[in-house]
Structure 1
Amino acid sequence: MIKPLSISRLANLGANTIYNAFLEYRFQFNSITSRAKNRFANRDWQSGQSDAVERLELYKKVIDQLVTSTQPLLEERLHEKLVWASIKAVYSGLISQCEDWEIAETFFNSLTRRIFVTVGLDPQIEFVDTDFDTPPTHPKFNLYKVLSCEGSLPDLVLSILSEYDFGCEFENLRRDVGAIYSEIARYMTQLQSSKLEDISDKIERAEMLKSVFYRGKSAYLIGRLFTSSEKLIPFAIALLNPVKGMVVDAVLLEEDEINILFSFTRSYFQVQVIRPYDMVTFLKSIMPQKRTAELYNSIGFNKHGKTELYRNLLEHLANSCDNFEIARGIPGMVMTVFTLPSYDIVFKIIKDQFDYPKTNTHKEVMEKYDLVFKHDRAGRLIDAHEFEHLKFERARFSAGLLAELQRIASQNVRTQGNFVIIKHAYIERRVTPLNLFIREASESDVLAAVLDCGNAVKDLAATNIFTGDMLLKNFGVTRHGRVVFYDYDELSHVTDCNFREFPEPETIDQELAAEPWFRVDENDIFPAEFKSFLGLNGKYRDYFVKNHADLFKVEYWWQLQNRLRKSEILDIFPYKESKRLSKEPQ
């Protein structure tokens, strides 16, 4: 008879199995990320998109394999919490020498939550808080390069660009150095003229992250400039690589500009990161208002970003007293949405039954969210974190809200003693619904939002996404005034749509018919209808039509479909057109 393994032996075997799986995950993650340099240098944009999807799918793939290998290792003791508490202790010791210990903790949590289907939190078998109050290791390499402005500012700019190996050459390095210098000089002049800066203050040094940030068809150098009075200036250089050679396309020096570059509506960067904690700390210094969770997301560690978001939410709940309430806006037909007034996120829960005329299934709705997760979000789709088995104090829910949730989403919401259990939810950043923004904001802000609403539709269409329900209530406005889309159940690919013109009626009866007298198939789209769908009135409708009349014509959509079907990747820049220096077509 084989003697059962002791808990200590199982703990060592289990911890090492998980640790080795984590190391393999990080190896594959870094291998995929490392391709970005050559993709940019060779203008291999299609492969770059495939790499992004492959990396997004990697985490689940590795965790699935780990669940399968852990089951025969622990056998009948798979669900013994004492065993897992011991595994966790050994694993904590193993990762204490890792440069990415926080990512390793989240990796462990992902496994235990899959095996135990944990409701709420269980500190015995997961890292509810990190085991390390301070980084357990010291960095072996410098995260950034310090470059002093010992000569002229153009010399400093040249030194910065010369630090990086892009695998390709600049079309005109001298010109681009001059362009960057001019932008910095203009910014400093504006500071001094506004009396926000001492007139004698000058750029003294630059601190530039050594890793290049790649995304889409662009590369970015990220850093910070310091003046002689130690004022910190966020600094980013956007680079393109058209056929003639690499060019500087934009210089970003405002915190808001950098925030938009790292927005929760954009796809994650491909960037080599040895110590995520240190990189996030650096990024936080130039984007102090940006949530730590969003910074982890932006550099590709979205699972740990989810961990940071949840920890931050729990901390906020412990230090606040307001109650959850239904989110502002017109109730959705597919989702019910609630929020905490003092915290800028929303919880989206799929209803048990969808309102007429929706015919989607729950599975199809979840597939749409998966599409958004893996697709280029173009700065127009809000990143959504999928959560399961959330547990909140019942006292934070009003009787009316709880009754409403249980009435329309009983499959996902239940009570258990003094707690509310949410089986499944998507958590997103809260934005102001566009229909409310138009009612409440100033005329100038509304006009800007109306204009950007059309830009949002076009940006998404350029990435092969058609919004479907083109209603004001499905768009939102961020704190930076950008219009985004957040209702995903009707999303489809532009190339799957059949854009049509209305046929001319041939009889009086057809002309007066209340319902279409012609056949309309599922994917048929009539752009001429968009004017009424949007729901804009008066001068705002006129302003939209004046600037986006092409959206109402089938020719616009047909031409776009042709370009997308040729696998053309269209340009969408995360900064204003006025910031562009090169105006180079990609």
Structure 2
Amino acid sequence: MRVAACRPPDRTCTQPPGILFSSQWLTTMSDSCPISTSRLANDVARLIHDGFAEFHDTFRRITRRAGERFRERDWHGLHDDARERMHVRESVLQTLLVQVRGTLGPRLHSRLAWAGVKAVFSGMIQQRDDWEIAETFYNSVTRRVFATVGVDAEIEFVHTDYPSSPTPAPDVPFRRYEAESTAALVRAALTDHQELGLNAAALVRGAASVAERIAADPVVSRCPEPVRAAEFAKCIFYRGEHAYLVGRFRICDRTVPLVLCMAHDRRGPRVDAVLLDEDDVSLLFSYTRSYFLADIERPSDVAEFLLTLIPRKRIAEIYISLGYNKHGKTELYRNALRHLADSTDEYQLAPGQRGMVMVVFTMPSYPVVFKVIRDEFDYPKDCTRASVIDRYRLVFEHDRAGRLMDAQEYDFLVLDRRRFSDELLDELHDKAGSGISYVDDRVVIKHCYAERRVTPLNVYLQEADQADAQRAVLDYGQAIKDLAMTNLFPGDLLLKNFGVTRNERVVFYDYDEVCLLTDCNFRRIPPARSIDDEMAAEPWFGVGPADVFPEEFVHFLGLPPQLRDLLVERHGELFDPAYWNALKEQLAAGALFHVPPYGEDRRLATPLARTLAPARTDRWSPQLTAPTT
């Protein structure tokens, strides 16, 4: 049946029951009586709004499973949920785009129509508590429709329509607790979160230990009064094998973070650690960590609450840590626009050795690097553009263990050509020219990654004093172990592929050779059969594409002898195939290892905690790295 507004009296314009905004129904309108642009704008805006609602409802439904996963110690299920949640957005967008294209038909690329869609959509979301996430979702639709080069403020939300929340908050995002003593205060907070499953003994013991740590804190110990009030976010933050109650308290005119880190082993849930320092909480919400699963009613309110604990974090990083990585990317872009307007320095090649796979550039006054895949890779790299992109996706979905940089992917990024140094423009033209174009005074980058800037480890070691250099080399060894425990092998262990963060933590950021550890074949170098074998330019034994020879690592790292000897002394097992094969065997059997985002000194010294094996150690042994089951 063909339905139109100018239909005969015996026909109806009512959509068939049970079908919500069907693009098929909308396109059955008579060609002689086309739908008006305003009607199309309303219909398409409703489609996008309903698509967003489906996405965010599914996102939150998956997130809410985390509590049960924690109580049941279903760590594999929790990891699977985290991966599943990452793909919900794209799945919804694919279906939605089919509907949008069918509805708009020949007017799909009409900017007039899309300007109307944006205006209607903006009005629809002003009653939503997740309006800012909705704006970013809308942008994902327009950018796929137009394959936009740069941004267009007429048809997408380059800047938000609502600098402050358009809806009044029904309540604050935290609960306030008051008590006569600090221990009673913590007990009240833990009691209020019984979904964590703490029994009475663990609750009392944990509260007493937390109170003891709070009293010993340098800030608190200088104040005459104990801590008798605190505020905790209503949502629980889950990640890996831990849950976190994230809060704060005021004392002596200072705001102090208060994070209770919950663990759950065979003995039951317990408070494992307490974080009272901004740097510790910053590491918890680091761009080197996987995303939290936290069921949040109003993301903007929770983000603002977290900013009071970690004020040096950018709002983009907080959204990303909460799993809203696409909106974090939007905030990162908006932040970059503001910085460009307030600065004059140029984009230039990033310090350190030139990459064999990427052209990397940065702006001295802005702590972000942009990475563009080269047209051809230097020898001996044998990867392809497609394989590099696949490896970045692997890292995106994987447990990053606090050692892998979060990389935000951009398509058709437009930057002011006048802000590029001549050296950088020449490098981009010569090494990555197929992905670079110029429109007037703009540079258009077809595809790139943006990461937080860190100091390359080889550069850091050249500039550091002896103590800092030793600490960095030891953390470099631990970083490799932490990645191995999550079933990742960096592939290329050269120092230039690692960096040092503001918190002096070593991280890995060059992913073109990263792979699953269980896909590697770790071997010993066979003994030479003769002097001729030893002197030969080629190996005297067969080498497969997945073969790795740990004994060779130490010879090409380029460390000064003193630092090399220290690394071998403290992390010598890294150069032994037996270490890698033992770990590979456990991982292949389904073992899950977890690298806590805090050190041993932050764990509570309860009798229960003292009986647990350390989560990290400088010397590897199978007993100390037994899997969590």
Considering the TM-score relative to the shorter chain, is it more than 0.5?
Answer: yes
Rounded to whole Å, the distance in 2 between the matches of 1:391 and 1:505 is 56
Rounded to whole Å, the distance in 2 between the matches of 1:161 and 1:492 is 40
Rounded to whole Å, the distance in 2 between the matches of 1:393 and 1:169 is 55
Aligned to 1:490: 513
The one-character-per-residue Cα deviations of 1:165-213 (angstroms, maximum 9, x if unpaired) are 32523462222112111110110xx2367xxx4x414323100001110
Instruction: Tell me if 1:348 matches 2:371.
Output: yes
Aligned to 2:208: 178
Instruction: Tell me if 1:314 matches 2:342.
Output: no
- SS of the aligned residue for 1:263 comes to coil
Instruction: Tell me if 1:162 matches 2:191.
Output: yes
Aligned to 2:131: 101
The one-character-per-residue Cα deviations of 1:381-409 (angstroms, maximum 9, x if unpaired) are 00000001111111101222111101110
% of aligned pairs identical?
47
Rounded to whole Å, the distance in 1 between the matches of 2:194 and 2:391 is 38
Where structure 1 has 5 or more consecutive residues not aligned to the other structure, the ranges are none
Rounded to whole Å, the distance in 1 between the matches of 2:593 and 2:281 is 22
Q: How does 1:378-389 map to 2 (within 5 A)?
A: 378-389=401-412
Which of 584, 587, 604 matches 1:564? 587
Rounded to whole Å, the distance in 2 between the matches of 1:242 and 1:322 is 52
Contact 1:180/1:251 (<8 A) preserved: yes
Rounded to whole Å, the distance in 1 between the matches of 2:530 and 2:452 is 51
Aligned to 2:11: none
Where structure 2 has 5 or more consecutive residues not aligned to the other structure, the ranges are 1-30, 614-627
Which of 106, 109, 116 matches 1:76? 106
Amino acid at match of 1:84: W
Instruction: Tell me if 1:89 matches 2:119.
Output: yes
Rounded to whole Å, the distance in 2 between the matches of 1:133 and 1:175 is 45
Deviation (angstroms), 1:313? 0.3
Aligned to 1:333: 356
Rounded to whole Å, the distance in 1 between the matches of 2:320 and 2:196 is 27
The one-character-per-residue Cα deviations of 1:254-273 (angstroms, maximum 9, x if unpaired) are 00000000000000000011
Q: How does 1:100-139 map to 2 (within 5 A)?
A: 100-139=130-169
Contact 2:37/2:113 (<8 A) preserved: yes
Contact 2:220/2:226 (<8 A) preserved: no
- TM-score scaled by length of structure 2: 0.90
Deviation (angstroms), 1:538? 1.8
The one-character-per-residue Cα deviations of 1:89-119 (angstroms, maximum 9, x if unpaired) are 0000000000000000000001001100111
Which of 504, 508, 515 matches 1:481? 504
Instruction: Tell me if 1:523 matches 2:546.
Output: yes
Q: How does 1:72-471 map to 2 (within 5 A)?
A: 72-149=102-179, 151-170=180-199, 172-187=202-217, 190-191=218-219, 197=222, 199-227=223-251, 229-471=252-494
Which of 56, 66, 69 matches 1:26? 56
Which of 526, 529, 536 matches 1:513? 536
Highest Rg: 1 or 2?
2
Contact 1:204/1:226 (<8 A) preserved: no
Deviation (angstroms), 1:577? 1.9
The one-character-per-residue Cα deviations of 1:209-245 (angstroms, maximum 9, x if unpaired) are 0111000000000000112x33210110111110111
Amino acid at match of 1:264: Y
The one-character-per-residue Cα deviations of 1:538-564 (angstroms, maximum 9, x if unpaired) are 211111111100111111111101110
Rounded to whole Å, the distance in 1 between the matches of 2:556 and 2:174 is 50
Rounded to whole Å, the distance in 1 between the matches of 2:297 and 2:145 is 29
Greater mean deviation of Cα atoms: 391-400 or 450-459 = 391-400
Amino acid at match of 1:169: L
Rounded to whole Å, the distance in 1 between the matches of 2:534 and 2:110 is 72
Deviation (angstroms), 1:160? 1.2
Greater mean deviation of Cα atoms: 471-480 or 126-135 = 126-135
The one-character-per-residue Cα deviations of 1:285-310 (angstroms, maximum 9, x if unpaired) are 00000010000001110000000000
Taking only aligned residues, the RMSD between alpha carbons, in angstroms, comes to 1.2
Contact 1:145/1:208 (<8 A) preserved: yes
Amino acid at match of 1:200: P
Amino acid at match of 2:197: C
Amino acid at match of 2:133: I
Rounded to whole Å, the distance in 2 between the matches of 1:362 and 1:547 is 37
Contact 2:359/2:427 (<8 A) preserved: no
Deviation (angstroms), 1:64? 1.5
Deviation (angstroms), 1:66? 1.2
Rounded to whole Å, the distance in 1 between the matches of 2:324 and 2:344 is 31
Rounded to whole Å, the distance in 1 between the matches of 2:362 and 2:228 is 45
Deviation (angstroms), 1:373? 0.6
- SS of the aligned residue for 1:330 comes to coil
Deviation (angstroms), 1:144? 0.7
Amino acid at match of 1:202: P
- SS of the aligned residue for 1:410 comes to helix
Rounded to whole Å, the distance in 1 between the matches of 2:229 and 2:467 is 39
Rounded to whole Å, the distance in 1 between the matches of 2:220 and 2:242 is 32
* Greater RCO (Cα-Cα under 8 Å, separation 6 or more): 1
The one-character-per-residue Cα deviations of 1:460-499 (angstroms, maximum 9, x if unpaired) are 0000000000100000000000000011000011101000
Rounded to whole Å, the distance in 2 between the matches of 1:101 and 1:191 is 38
Rounded to whole Å, the distance in 2 between the matches of 1:377 and 1:172 is 30
State the aligned residue count. 578
Greater mean deviation of Cα atoms: 1-10 or 310-319 = 1-10
Greater mean deviation of Cα atoms: 287-296 or 414-423 = 414-423
Rounded to whole Å, the distance in 1 between the matches of 2:570 and 2:90 is 43
Greater mean deviation of Cα atoms: 284-293 or 439-448 = 439-448
Aligned to 1:548: 571
